[in-house]
Structure 1
Amino acid sequence: MGKKTNIIRRVIQVLIALTTCIAILAITSVPLPFLPSYLSSRATGAMPELKVDIAKVSLKFGTTGIIMLQLEDIHTSYAQEHNAYIDRILIKPVWINMLRPGKVHSLVIEASLPNLSQELNLIKTAKNTQNTQALPNYKELHEIITKMYAQNYDAMRRLVFKIPVVSLQLPGETGHSQVIELRGITARLGKSKQQLEVIVGGKVRFHNRDSRLKASIKDEDGGFIVDAKMHNIPLQWLNTWITDLDTNLQIQLNAVSKVSDLNTWPDVQFILHTGSGSIGSNQALYERIDVTSIYAQGIVSRGLSQIQVPHINARIHGLSFAGNLEFNQDKVVFNTTSNEPFAALSALHIWPHNLAIHVRQWVQHNVLAGIIEQAEMRLQIPLIQYQPQFAKMTDKDISASFSVRDGVVQYIDHMPPINGANAVVKLDANNAKVSAIHGKVLDASLQGECSISDFSAPKTILKFTGVLDGAAQDSINLALTHFYTQHDISAKTIEVLQPLRRAQGTAQSNIDVSLDLGEPDESLEIKVKSKLNNIIVRDVLGKFNVSAAQLMATFANNKLKVTGLASTESGISGNLEYNGDFKDNKGSQNLRLSMTDNIEEFDAGLGWNTSAFVKGKATATADLDLNSLEQFMPVKLIINLQNSTIDLPIIGLHKSKGESGEIMLSFPNYQFDSPSIGDYKITMNQLDSVGQITFDENQGIRSIDNAKVSLFNSNFTTKMLNDGGIKVYLSGESFDISHIDLSKIDNDSALFSKDITLESKLQRLLMHDNVALKNPVLRLSCSVGTCTDLLLQGQFNDGKTLEIKSDKRNVSVYTNNAGLTLKALGISQNVSDGTLWITAKRYSNRSDAPLKGNLKIQDYYMRKTPILAKLLTIPSITTSAFVGVNDLLENKGLRFKSLNCGLDYKQSILQIEDCVIEGPVISMTGDGEIDMLSRQVKIKGVVVPENIINSLVQAIPMLGPPLSGGENSGIIASSYTIRGKLDEEFSLEVNPLSVLTPGFLRKIIGH
């Protein structure tokens, strides 16, 4: 019995020692708290010292990768009367080369028991510990232990072995040790006699928190299987760098290892899982993370130099992940894949603490929605450069890729967001690249790619490059919204620009955006190249409908330029060029319009009526300063008239095509919906004028004021008021009317669209052939193209006067210098002296009614005129008249006592009726017509020397039969017919054998 008891005790001693060793090895083979610090220290070559006290357990890590293990003074006690004490078990030294796993230098195990007389030497020890020598044959040792277990099972199966306390002393990060205690460790045999099994239980205490430990050692397949389970492990145990976590998360750990060779460090397989809980924020995490579960399955191999976790499944913050993890001597690598879609902003909850705060704030504020799918992430922690805050992670240390759908991003406040975005995102520690972006801004399609650089830097730059394609209305609204947010815009400006928001057409824009996420509004830089097609904008400036087949727009460096061909609905078309500089609120905006079109189209578009006297094409260039649109808009308009003709009879102006001509309008305070005052300048052949012009709210001319005019020989100032009718006021030095063709004025009823009145206060009125009226009174009234009311009064240089009056029914002319009057009016230069009367009356009040009246001139002279000269060449005249008549024509002229004519004027044709000219040399009659437009003349009459008439009257005391008009009675004279053009070549037909009829004599004598 005593021998048997000794054997039992020896087996117990061996099992206790083996159990303790294997349990310690199993515990230290899983990722316990010292592991990351230990591995990182090994990578740097400075391994910390680890002490384990049972009642003396020492576990030391040398500087050369050698583990030295020494156990001594282990005390156990077991149930009731069965007491056995192990005074001393000494295992010294166990040297295991971690750099070359599986090699052991030497092992000595000694055990001494108080009730045994001999020393148990289970293993003989090599004398030289420096020699590499295999441990004793493991197979023999296994057979001994299993045999002893079977033989003594019945006696030992009720025994319970206890270890009160095992302390593991760990080095702290600040140099202070941290202690893990194994408390109340118990060991007992299993239930099967045929299979060796030792069951171990107890508690593990760390930071005053307990975790339950349950382990077993089984004999299986020629080796010992160590299976250890730990429950309710606090998360703080995992690593010393997260011990400040505020967490209630508990971990369950199951580790299994098979010891089958004393020369090889055993691999440890483990399973780790948690229940639900949360992890609070710390220096590595921004905010609390909710954990539903974590499940990990892995293996510890190659000593403690490598840990592989090929299967990890977790549900963290509502997100499901699957992945794997690997520890080795240099780094920790973690790979994971999301199992289901999740909200984009949820990624921030689990992203490491390497993001700069401004990046995180921008993402939280501007990423409004989005679903992440197919997310993959790789996290690598270099142990040699380990930093708790992730602050110095390189691009190789972290990477992620995923797809995003239904994203909503607003890159700066107040701007329309990108909606429904789909994209592929690739991330590393400091940068992001977003490709294959497809989304919408308003209703326009957006495609492009984006990059974000330097997550952890003070400046994190976002760059976007893409194409916006869709309705022009969306692009314009986007541009206007950006404009409104960047500048202080008044309600008036918004009202003026409002029609642009309703623009029709399409637009395609290439966009480049850059901004600093820390200061997005201040750092925003946008470059845009746009092509706008088939644009229609209605009610521009409240008046115009504008269309454009194609416009090109570029925006860069806060400068916008728009070019293209545009037209109004009324037909005005031309090139436009808009330039805007938005560098600050004091920037500039300018719109230039260059239009070439027929004058009629300009009139139709602007509401003017210039086409009555301007024909052909004109080129108008308008410069609009849009800086103060809410108050007024400086406008400069230049109209080039080189390719047009101008015929303005009222001032006698005519310009041919090809001759230069330009009108310039400048409005410093132009307002489209209220009267605007500006300056104008007209430069063309024979006309220069500058002054002020006012437009009404409909852009029609309201008035012209302070207008200085140089026209032919005229220099005067005019004022025109368009107030229901047009009122013109002339004043100044002189006004030249010698170029005015009154016949054209009266004939062109389309010349004026409104009634016009003219008044003057001039020093001189210049007329034909340098004839001037001093201090003239001139008043003129025209209605719809017909001038009916006229008053002209003035004094010639010789003191003689002229007065012309006209109203709707009556016309009268009086002058006591007929020669100067006819010369001044451009009728004849060959008359001098004389008094002239014209009286005429219209048939009705209608402006186009025929005019009928009389012309009378007394005591005047006529110099040699082409018609008179030819008449005096008639032989009957030259032989009958006195000698020297031609000399009279060459000097002062041929004197006439009177001229009396009946006049009938209708539709520019002047009928001459019963015209009698009586003089001391010749007398004549005339009837016919003059076309005042073509100046064509057709007159016929009789001419007779005055001496024949005088002698005839003296010879006949009483008029008798010769003057009675009897048939075939009369005196020989000459008849004539004149055809041709006034003051030009004409034909003269003469009949020298004509009979001077009594009727002719009666006309002359009667006058």
Structure 2
Amino acid sequence: MIKRTLRGLVQILAGLGAGLVIVAAVLAWHLSSGPISLAFLTPHIQDFLGRYHDTFRFEMDDTILTWAGWERALDVRVVNVRAVDPEGRVIANVPELSVWLSAEALVHGLIAPRRIEFFRPRLNLRLDEKGQVAVALGDSEDASADLARRFLTNLSGPPDPTNAMSYLDTFRIIDADLTVRDDLTRLAWRAPGTRVEMVRSARGLEGEANMTVRHGGQAADVTLVGSYDTATERVDVGVTFAELVPADFAAALPEMPGVDTIRLPVQGTVTLTLDGQGQVEAVGYDVEGGAGVLRLPPPLDQDLALTSIAFRGQYDGLRDLLTINDLTAELGPEGHLALPAPTSHDLPLRSVSARGKVWIGRHRAILDSLTADLGGPTAHLTATLESAAGQAGGDLTVQATGSLRGVPVNRMATYWPRAWGSDAHRWCVTHLADGTFDEITAQVGLVRAADGDVRVGSLSGTMAVRGVTVDYLPPMPKARGANGRIRFDRESFNIATKGGRVAGLEVTDGLIKLLKVDTEDPEAELNLTIAGPVRDALDLIDHEPLGFASALNVDPAKTSGQSSTRLTMAFPLLNDLKLEQIAVRAESAMTDVRIGGVLLDQDVKRGRLDLTVDKVGMDVVGEVEWADIPARLAWRENFDDDAEFRSRFDLAAFVGQVERSVPLGFDLAPIPGEFIRGALGAEVHYTVFTDDKARLEAKADLADLSLAFPALGWTKEAGVGGTAAVDVSLAGNAVTDIPYFAVTAGDLVVLGSVAYDDPGTVKRIDISRMSYGRTEVKGTAEPRPARDPGGAKGWAVAVTGSSFDMAPLWEEFTDNPDAQARKKPLDLDVDLSARLDRVWLGDGRFVTDLNGMLTRRGHLWTDVALTAKVVDDKTMAVDVVSDGAAGRRLHIASEDAGAALRTFELYDNMLGGKLEIGGYIDDSKSDSPMTGRISVEDYRIKDAPALAHLVSILALTGIVESLQGQGLSFTKMDIPFTYQNDLMTITDARAYGLSLGITASGTVSTKDEELDLTGTVVPAYAINTALNNVPLLGKLITGGEKGSGLFAANYTAKGPAAKPDIDVNPLSALAPGFLRNLFGILEGQTSVKPDGELVIPDSQADR
């Protein structure tokens, strides 16, 4: 049974299949010839469609069956469907319409469409000014917002058994001719061949549209994918496009500012989210573009030619915030950006990338980052832009921070607009070269007014530069290889440098300030610290336009040492800068300094000096050695011709060994510097005036100095206080006047002045006071021509005063030339006139009312003519007369020989007498021997120990008593002598009176004060010598000795002159004259010791 049933079922199915095949074959044959009309269905479809719309009716031409391809197979379509209002107007039409019925609706007994497709319709979309969408189908231009709203509601809502359209789940528009019009922007564009599909989803509605948008002769492929959430009424749309020029559609996208600036084909994706009120919640974009133009907004306001661009970001509708996550533009190797007025500068720009944010409603934007390739250097920028009060049309405030790296200094003008600090720009471009700006940073505040005027509210920044050449003040040497950091703002531009070299000097640091750059009178200040050789430093400050070293009369080539110099300059930023407009100052610390011939032709060396110089003058202070003298120097140099002086040198010196110091460089004769020894502290003030005249003021502390003036017999030992002062006027280095000099040392006071004829030529020396010891005089000295060409000049000296200590001069006068040479007396030619109330020749020995002339040539007093008074107003005279080179004649006369001899410390035991000394000094011989005679008449001898010893041997008691009492009277003394080499030789000298006669021959050493004499003592001289007058017999009796007598004794005197050893032959005292010489040869003599003891020889004592 079952088998029979199955077999029957199979047969039925086979038959049906065969029938279907036959039907399909027949149907395919008919379809291949074209669509098959199903006109019988048209009334039913028309009735079905009209059942749901009471405001209009549907009309259609036919219903057909057509082959739609293997994907769709057979398709039933209604042709030329029209919606007609009660007045008969066609309000919508579709060329073809395809309807698929809903199986779910059929179950409920309802015929309803599940899918509807429009083919090749004309679709008009209109966006009114409120943002609502109205749709018109076909030839009608009356778009209905209600139609579109009701259609979307049916498609997105749940199925409703009372509403056949609620079963619709798919709606397609195929090959539509789409036109979009925007009432707000007046923008219209077409998209022929548009395909639209909307499908019901679990959450609402999803859709996709593909079209080629045409506008302004351009075509762009656009794909839209979207969804609608029925619960939230939120719409999400994604747009993918290619070859789209955004600027062509900018008016349709007001929520996306800047779209109108993109005038180049782009491709990418834009997403859009709308809320239930149709307001934009969010927009996202990811776009790339090719070559074209990017229109920059004001204030840049220009077309920027690009080779490519890419940007992505989003728009937050709730915050009204547009975010640019990344914007990259390539401009190519010739790309540039024109900065608008007032900048007006073309800036190389090869590429740029940026990100930022724009608060559209608040009219505020933040540029988080911008990086630009400027044709080598790289720029980075951040900025904030904000409109006043957050409203359009107000002042736009810009706060920007930027940096620029790797800018060659020589290309500075390429990247620095002239208008950005025109004065600073001009100075830097003109005076900076070489090297690289490693980094430039800037912070700027700009305000762009509604009228387009741009002003700078704030400006500051820094620049880091290395290897730069700074031409700080042409034509001075440039500083090369410097590294530095620059700080700038609206008012100033400061360049701080490190390192570098200028004219052989190292620039350790520097600061160049450009000030008041925002005014019409900008200024510059320059500070450089420069280290190196003193010579190079002086070369630098001597360079044009300064010329300081030349103004100092210092030759840099004659200097050495090391220096650290701070050079400061200030001047206006002018193209035609003049020297008088430059304020300049240099401060230098110098070590081991040598300056040749800077002061009185003497070098300054081993100096540690601080120098300050400006256009007014120069100051130098420090420790130096001047003329080998350690000193503290203060040097002031004035450059103003109207200044009180040109140069002033203040020296505080300590001379350790005056005798070894070099001369000052000018003649201060006749100051005897060779008699100065020891240490000297002095202050010297040397002033040079603008007429090249000079003044030297010196004060010295003589406490550590030993002074000796042999000619005056005055000395001061070290440790005895003293001061000296002198005021000297000079012309050049020649002395023209010494208006004052003073020496106060120990008991010495010297005050005076020196007058000059011609510069360097002494006319007169005036000593207004000279006081020391027993001297109180004043005097003058005038020069005399030198006796030999090229020799030392002579002096005419006049001395007056109440008292003068001549003891030292007298000792020198009585010395022979060899002794004088050993003492090294002052070698001068002097004509000395004297008028003195009292002249001291030694302790307690003086003359009064001295008048006379003394002439000295070299080491010798050649001519003397003196008169004076000794004790009791007795006169004496000393005359020395030169007869030329051969010799000098000496004559001394005194009314009181004893007083004269005592005064001159020649012999203290003579009283009274008349003195005559005559002699001749033979200067033709090297030792200048003197031959002469001493004669004294009518004198007495008292307290003469040597003579008393002598006569005591002869038991001449009366004579001894006379010597010890009133003195022994003598009638005459006659001493012929020669004097040579400190030795006086006496021949046949004799002295005699009534009581005694004595003869002597031998020598007296004035050097050792020793004598060696032999002679005869004659008692009772007047009687004893009377026999001499008897011819022949007298000579026989007296022995023929001149001055001898009948009874006399021979003696010898040897040893110290004060206490000689005296030997007497006692036999000769009793023998006649002709036998005395015989007894003199006897063995042994009785001698008398200096103390008076009689000594008898041993041979005589034995008898």
Q: TM-score, normalised by structure 2?
A: 0.63
Aligned with residue 576 of structure 1, among 624, 632, 636: 632
The CA deviation at 1:437 is 0.3
CA distance in 2, matches of 1:193, 1:595: 104
Partner of 1:350: 417
Q: 1:407 to 1:945 in 2, by over 3 A?
A: same
CA distance in 2, matches of 1:730, 1:904: 34
Q: Deviations over 1:935-994 (max 9, x none)?
A: x1314344635415514636995415322369x99635362525326xxx5344343726
Q: 1:977 to 1:799 in 2, by over 3 A?
A: closer
Question: Contact 1:186–1:201 (CA<8 Å) still a contact in 2?
Answer: no
CA distance in 2, matches of 1:307, 1:660: 87
Partner of 2:878: 803
Aligned with residue 717 of structure 1, among 751, 774, 779: 779
CA distance in 2, matches of 1:457, 1:372: 26
Q: 1:952 to 1:704 in 2, by over 3 A?
A: closer
The CA deviation at 1:918 is 1.6
Q: Deviations over 1:215-269 (max 9, x none)?
A: 66868698898788996778xx6424x78xxxx9865597767899997987675
Q: Which has the higher contact order (CA 8 A, sep 6+)?
A: 1
Q: Does 1:374 align with 2:438?
A: yes
Question: Contact 1:899–1:918 (CA<8 Å) still a contact in 2?
Answer: yes
Give the AA of the match of 1:927.
S
Q: Deviations over 1:568-594 (max 9, x none)?
A: 3xxx42223225487985688442141
Give the AA of the match of 2:595.
V
Question: Contact 2:937–2:972 (CA<8 Å) still a contact in 1?
Answer: yes
SS class of match (1:659): coil
CA distance in 2, matches of 1:972, 1:878: 12
SS class of match (1:950): helix
CA distance in 2, matches of 1:865, 1:362: 107
CA distance in 2, matches of 1:388, 1:691: 85
Question: Contact 1:454–1:461 (CA<8 Å) still a contact in 2?
Answer: yes
1:35-54 equivalences in 2 (<5 Å): none
CA distance in 2, matches of 1:378, 1:4: 70
Question: Contact 2:446–2:455 (CA<8 Å) still a contact in 1?
Answer: no
Q: Does 1:898 align with 2:956?
A: no
Q: 1:120 to 1:376 in 2, by over 3 A?
A: same
Question: Contact 1:598–1:617 (CA<8 Å) still a contact in 2?
Answer: yes
Give the AA of the match of 1:719.
A
The CA deviation at 1:687 is 3.2
Partner of 1:748: 820
Q: Does 1:392 align with 2:457?
A: yes
1:204-223 equivalences in 2 (<5 Å): 214=263
Q: 1:848 to 1:911 in 2, by over 3 A?
A: same
Partner of 1:536: 594
SS class of match (2:954): helix
Aligned with residue 91 of structure 1, among 123, 128, 141: 128
SS class of match (2:956): helix
Q: 1:219 to 1:634 in 2, by over 3 A?
A: closer
Question: Contact 2:517–2:523 (CA<8 Å) still a contact in 1?
Answer: no
CA distance in 1, matches of 2:1029, 2:463: 138
Partner of 1:296: 352
CA distance in 2, matches of 1:146, 1:906: 163
Give the AA of the match of 2:140.
N
Q: Does 1:323 align with 2:380?
A: yes
Question: Contact 2:910–2:939 (CA<8 Å) still a contact in 1?
Answer: yes
Work out the percentage of aligned pairs sharing the same amino acid: 10
Q: Deviations over 1:152-191 (max 9, x none)?
A: 3xx68xx999999979xxxxxxxxxxxxxxxx97255448
Question: Contact 1:599–1:614 (CA<8 Å) still a contact in 2?
Answer: no
The CA deviation at 1:473 is 1.8
Q: TM-score, normalised by structure 1?
A: 0.68
Q: 1:523 to 1:227 in 2, by over 3 A?
A: same
CA distance in 1, matches of 2:709, 2:854: 19
The CA deviation at 1:371 is 2.6
Q: 1:524 to 1:333 in 2, by over 3 A?
A: same
Q: 1:307 to 1:840 in 2, by over 3 A?
A: closer
Q: Does 1:186 align with 2:265?
A: no
Partner of 1:115: 140
Q: Which runs of 5+ in 1 are unaligned?
A: 12-81, 94-106, 126-143, 168-183, 206-210, 1003-1007
Give the AA of the match of 2:880.
K
The CA deviation at 1:359 is 5.5
CA distance in 2, matches of 1:695, 1:765: 32
CA distance in 2, matches of 1:963, 1:9: 202
CA distance in 1, matches of 2:546, 2:969: 86
Q: Does 1:736 align with 2:736?
A: no
The CA deviation at 1:282 is 5.0
SS class of match (2:679): strand
Give the AA of the match of 2:657.
N
Q: Does 1:917 align with 2:976?
A: no
Aligned with residue 404 of structure 2, among 337, 360, 365: 337
Q: Does 1:986 align with 2:1059?
A: yes
Q: 1:256 to 1:399 in 2, by over 3 A?
A: same
CA distance in 2, matches of 1:644, 1:999: 68
Question: Contact 2:221–2:243 (CA<8 Å) still a contact in 1?
Answer: no
Aligned with residue 787 of structure 1, among 861, 866, 874: 861
Q: Does 1:648 align with 2:713?
A: no
Q: Does 1:962 align with 2:1029?
A: no
CA distance in 2, matches of 1:556, 1:370: 31
SS class of match (2:807): coil
Q: Deviations over 1:609-631 (max 9, x none)?
A: 97786253131514224463662
SS class of match (1:473): helix
Q: Does 1:878 align with 2:929?
A: no
Question: Contact 1:599–1:611 (CA<8 Å) still a contact in 2?
Answer: no
Question: Contact 1:819–1:829 (CA<8 Å) still a contact in 2?
Answer: yes
Question: Contact 2:435–2:468 (CA<8 Å) still a contact in 1?
Answer: yes
Q: 1:90 to 1:559 in 2, by over 3 A?
A: same
Question: Contact 1:162–1:185 (CA<8 Å) still a contact in 2?
Answer: no
The CA deviation at 1:532 is 0.5
Q: Which runs of 5+ in 2 are unaligned?
A: 1-78, 84-89, 96-119, 151-168, 188-213, 225-239, 251-259, 273-284, 387-396, 787-792, 1078-1103
SS class of match (1:374): strand
Partner of 1:692: 753
Question: Contact 2:729–2:735 (CA<8 Å) still a contact in 1?
Answer: no
Question: Contact 2:492–2:514 (CA<8 Å) still a contact in 1?
Answer: yes
Q: 1:9 to 1:742 in 2, by over 3 A?
A: farther
CA distance in 1, matches of 2:538, 2:570: 21
SS class of match (1:888): coil
SS class of match (1:959): helix
Give the AA of the match of 1:108.
Q
CA distance in 2, matches of 1:1000, 1:659: 68
SS class of match (2:977): strand
CA distance in 1, matches of 2:632, 2:372: 66
SS class of match (1:993): coil
Q: 1:661 to 1:454 in 2, by over 3 A?
A: closer
Is 520-529 or 688-697 further displaced after alignment? 520-529
Q: 1:669 to 1:881 in 2, by over 3 A?
A: closer
Q: Alignment RMSD, CA only? A: 5.6
The CA deviation at 1:438 is 0.4
The CA deviation at 1:998 is 3.4
Partner of 1:845: 924
CA distance in 2, matches of 1:259, 1:559: 69
Give the AA of the match of 1:979.
G
SS class of match (1:393): strand
1:39-188 equivalences in 2 (<5 Å): 89-93=126-130, 107-110=131-134, 115-116=140-141, 119-120=144-145, 124=149, 148=173, 151-152=175-176, 186=216, 188=218
Question: Contact 1:407–1:422 (CA<8 Å) still a contact in 2?
Answer: no
CA distance in 1, matches of 2:487, 2:91: 68
Give the AA of the match of 1:437.
K
Give the AA of the match of 1:594.
A
